[in-house]
Amino acid sequence: MKTSMSVAVFLALFATASWAQHHAVRAADLKWSPVPSLPRGAQIAVIEGPMNQAVPFTVRIKFPANYSLPAHTHPAVERVTVLSGTFHMGMGDKFSRSGTQPVRAGDIMIMKPGTPHFAWTDAETVVQLHGTGPWGITYLNAADDPRNQ
């Protein structure tokens, strides 16, 4: 009987501790802002972070219609879930609309660190990116990096 009482107390404490750390984020409450490391037009909403530290992060990125993201890499595993629209993703070191894979709402793309890739949209597209920082983007052609312009 003591064991089952101890388990019940532990579960009650665990549930209380987990609930205290829970928070819900309403899509309508997201704060969107420009992304200095992406070509103009993209907007980011940080859900949890910060992305520049070795901790988990979750962000949403909104890309306008007819957006192009030049070839680049990331220092960590990239997990992209498309929430709306279609994110056309291609692998390789040069941007090309041909040979891209349409990643549609509900689909996810996972890439290893350092994988060269690029993307484009034909309509407004929202993706959710999550991983563990520190996060960054390195353009394969330095002239494509908006931070250099």
What CATH number does the domain containing 92 carry? 2.60.120.10
Examine residue 60 and state whether it is found in any structural domain, yes or no: yes
Cα of first residue to Cα of last residue in the chain, in angstroms, is 70
The pTM score is 0.84
Residue 16, φ and ψ in degrees, nearest 5: -65, -45
* pLDDT, position 149: 86
For 121-127, what is the mean pLDDT? 98
- CB 55, CB 106: distance < 8 Å: no
For 5-32, what is the mean pLDDT? 64
Q: Which of 4-8, 19-23, 104-108, 124-128 has the lowest mean pLDDT?
A: 4-8
* pLDDT, position 60: 98
Closest CA to 137 of 124, 122, 118: 118
What domain range includes position 93?
29-148
Closest CA to 127 of 94, 102, 97: 102
Examine residue 37 and state whether it is found in any structural domain, yes or no: yes
pLDDT tens readout for residues 68-99 = 999 999 999 999 999 999 999 999 999 999 98
Examine residue 52 and state whether it is found in any structural domain, yes or no: yes
Residue 11 has pLDDT above 50, yes or no: no
- Per 3-state DSSP, the chain is made up of helix, strand and coil in percentages (nearest 5) of 20, 40, 40
